[in-house]
Structure 1
Amino acid sequence: MKIIDRLEEWVISLMLLAMTGVAFMQVVRRYVFNTGFSWSLEVTTIFFAIMIFTGLSYGVRVGAHIGVDALVNLLSEKKRRRVAIAAVCLCLVYVGFMLYGSGIYVSKMMEIGIEFDDLPLERWKVLMIMPIGFALVGLRFLQILYLLITGKIDNLQLADEAADAMKLKSKDND
């Protein structure tokens, strides 16, 4: 799994770097040379989509997604784990729907064969990032489910904005 972890991080970093590079080149060409690339917006959008669908999985892995767990945290460890397992199972159902729907969408786009406006590339080839991204998210939720069932964790480790804000506030006061 370390390979997938590193691959996610590299893809996100490279897509952000590529988006920044293309946007910078477009600005320089437009305002310095009074010209531009017709394909820059589409390429930037493609890089952004790849970054977002890879970032979904990364966010699940590092617990960066926002969740409301104030009530759940009041429960006992056993009940908290049960609620977390139920939540992960619901997330897996949702991911299943999204994986199925995105697969149908990509297959329809493949049948139609529509290309991008400014790139000689069929849209379905780029849209494959949707089912790939949802498959990665499903894998991450399966990992969390395994950790919950085996008792290695007792809750979903979600982002805690309140705790983060309090830490920042205490650092500002120091």
Structure 2
Amino acid sequence: MSSGYHPNTALGRFVHEFEETAIAVILGLMTLITFINVVLRYGFNTGLIWGLEAVTFLFAWLVLFGMSYAVKITSHLGVDAVINLFSSRTKRFIALFAALICIVYAGLLLKGAWDYWAPFAGLDATSGRWFPTGFENSRDQAWYETVDMPMPDWLRFIEPIMNEGESYAKLPRFLPYAMLPIGMALLLFRFIQAGVRIFTGVSHGLIVSHEAEDDVAAVSHMNAGD
């Protein structure tokens, strides 16, 4: 998978590789599980009982990874008809203001994602209504399990840590739910990165993609070739 994006820092390169590898693996797993289920269902009248739940979680992971990935490659759609009426300096100020709003919004999402996930991992949620002011005790929900996904034996080592030594019959929920804070942290990182690029003059906009214009130009080019 190639996006044409070339990070300049070690952290940027790590996150870049992590995102693209994760997206490729998730797409591969979704395809493989769905294909196996179809073959089992129509060929052998059986199926993976946990397949649908696994694909549902994988699709949710793909969406959460995709949000930050789309910010990185500037593929989110935006309307800039009014912004283009202003001078370059004003457009840069508007882009910086938009980046700031997005950073604050992503920070709020990260707090909410952590507060939702933390009890499932036996951790404390943050205090404060809007912004974290510390941590507060939350009810331990680490014993919650998924509906159908089996617990792999190689993960049994977490049972003394997370479930007071009790065995998990199914995969604990905190594992698939972990993508919530991870996805929001990646989104926050990408918005900060985009804001820095605008501030330093490397980029002139935030996440605007002229998809419609590109499609029209492509069709015009094809017609001209005819």
Instruction: Output the TM-score relative to the length of structure 2.
Output: 0.74
Alignment-derived partner of residue 24 in structure 2: 13
Question: Residues 1-174 of structure 1 correspond to what in structure 2 (within 5 A)?
Answer: 1-110=12-121, 111-112=140-141, 113-119=143-149, 120-173=170-223, 174=225
Partner Cα distance (1:26, 1:109) in 2: 29
Cα distance in 2 between the residues matched to 1:129 and 1:121: 15
Q: Give 3-state SS (helix, strand or coil) of 2:209's partner.
A: coil
Structure 1 residue 16, shift from structure 2 partner: 0.5
Alpha-carbon separation, structure 2, partners of 1:124 and 1:157: 32
Letter in 2 for 1:69: D
Q: Could you say what secondary structure the match of 1:155 adopts?
A: coil
How far did residue 67 of structure 1 move? 1.0
Give the whole-Å Cα distance in 1 for the aligned partners of 2:207 and 2:52: 36
Kindly provide the amino acid, as one letter, of the partner of residue 89 in structure 1: L
Aligned equivalents of 2:211, 2:77: Cα separation in 1: 8
Give, as a single letter, the amino acid of the residue that structure 2 aligns with 1:148. I
Amino acid paired to 2:211: E
Structure with bigger gyration radius: 2
Q: CA RMSD in A?
A: 1.3
Deviations 1:131-174 (A, max 9, x none): 11111111111111111111222222421122112122213302
More strand by share: 2
**Deviation readout 1:29-63 (Å, 9 max, x if unpaired):** 00000001110011111211221111111100000
Aligned-partner residue type, residue 172 of structure 2 = E
Residues 157 and 101 (structure 1 numbering): CA distance in 2 closer, same or farther, change over 3 Å?
A: closer
Distance 1:43 1:95, change over 3 A: same
CA distance in 1, matches of 2:207, 2:61: 25
Alpha-carbon separation, structure 2, partners of 1:89 and 1:150? 15
**Which ranges of structure 1 fall in alignment gaps of 5 or more residues?**
none
List runs of 5+ in structure 2 lacking aligned partners: 1-11, 122-139, 150-169
Answer whether contact 1:8 1:58 (CA < 8 A) is retained: yes
Q: Distance in 2 between matches of 1:146 and 1:66?
A: 20
Higher share in helix: 1
Q: Work out the percentage of aligned pairs sharing the same amino acid.
A: 36
Q: Which amino acid aligns with 1:170?
A: S
Aligned residues of 2:76 and 2:207 also touching (Cα < 8 A) = no
Distance 1:137 1:96 in 2: 9
